[in-house]
Structure 1
């Protein structure tokens, strides 16, 4: 076990102000690293944005699904997802197929030609999250995810402005 992990594990408690300070210092580094994450050469010419990353993550981890299912998971309007899917389909990153059970519905999936590059691109983040979350109990993981969602909702409530710290 690394020294840093031992220090965190041995810490009897962290006050709210200390935790806030630590997170305000940590989150910009995390965001900065995420922004600097190197897009694979095979995907560089596609002008992928952060909104695409979430969509591609769902399709990679959960498999093919409908636009409505993606919209529900991404918590955006189906029209927004439809526009993203259309854009990525025209570029050949995604494919749309008829649903065998209901021919009116279209199933969206990652094109086989781009799956390895997308998988490699997302694997580093998934591995880092897995390593961070594995030592936690299911209740601790649930609390961690709940806390991040509460934070995201808090900064999305119109309280943030240009240049506000995370």
Structure 2
């Protein structure tokens, strides 16, 4: 049987109930002891998530994925490198490029901490078509933008 879908107001009510629960669950993810003393912002978590999911990446690749300037990524990497969480090395093929990876002593903790989120997203979107997944991502981006436009950000 095909679902008739949700009317706009029904969808909004469902999302207003769901979003705080999602945020609450994300906030309850226990930060590993080794990272607890760091002042980690959501952008740091995204950076660590990309490295955890995809492995070593260049600063340019991270900037593209995070949709920020390479200088912003460089500053985040510098912070996490000083704390020993990340390792930067020269790219053997192009010595001007820096490749970034999670430090071996932090890999297991970061994977245990953030890996579940990728697994949950993979499970949540597994039964969707590529077009439906694109709609979900586009909708969440539009919601983020609309929040910014309404002045609800801190």
Deviations 1:101-160 (Å, cap 9, x if unpaired)? Answer: 11122111111111111011112212221221112222222221121122222223x313
Paired with 1:15 and 1:56, the residues of 2 have a C-alpha distance of 37
Q: Please, which runs of 5 or more residues in structure 1 have no aligned partner?
A: 1-8
Any runs of at least 4 consecutive aligned residues in structure 1 with deviations exceeding 3 A, and if so which? none
Distance 1:10 1:41 in 2: 47
The equivalent of 1:76 in structure 2 is 68
Give the whole-Å Cα distance in 1 for the aligned partners of 2:119 and 2:99: 28
Which runs of structure 2 are paired with 1:7-46 in the superposition (5 Å)?
Answer: 11-46=3-38
Whole-Å Cα distance in 2 between the matches of residues 24 and 102 of structure 1?
48
1:60 to 43, 52, 57: 52
1:17-166 superposed matches below 5 A: 17-156=9-148, 158-161=149-152
Q: Normalising to structure 1: TM-score of the pair?
A: 0.84
**1:160, 1:29 → 2: CA distance?**
22
The runs of 5 or more residues in structure 2 that have no matched partner are none
The root-mean-square deviation of aligned C-alpha atoms, in Å, is: 1.8
| Shift, 1:74, TM fit | 0.8
Q: CA deviation at 1:49?
A: 2.4
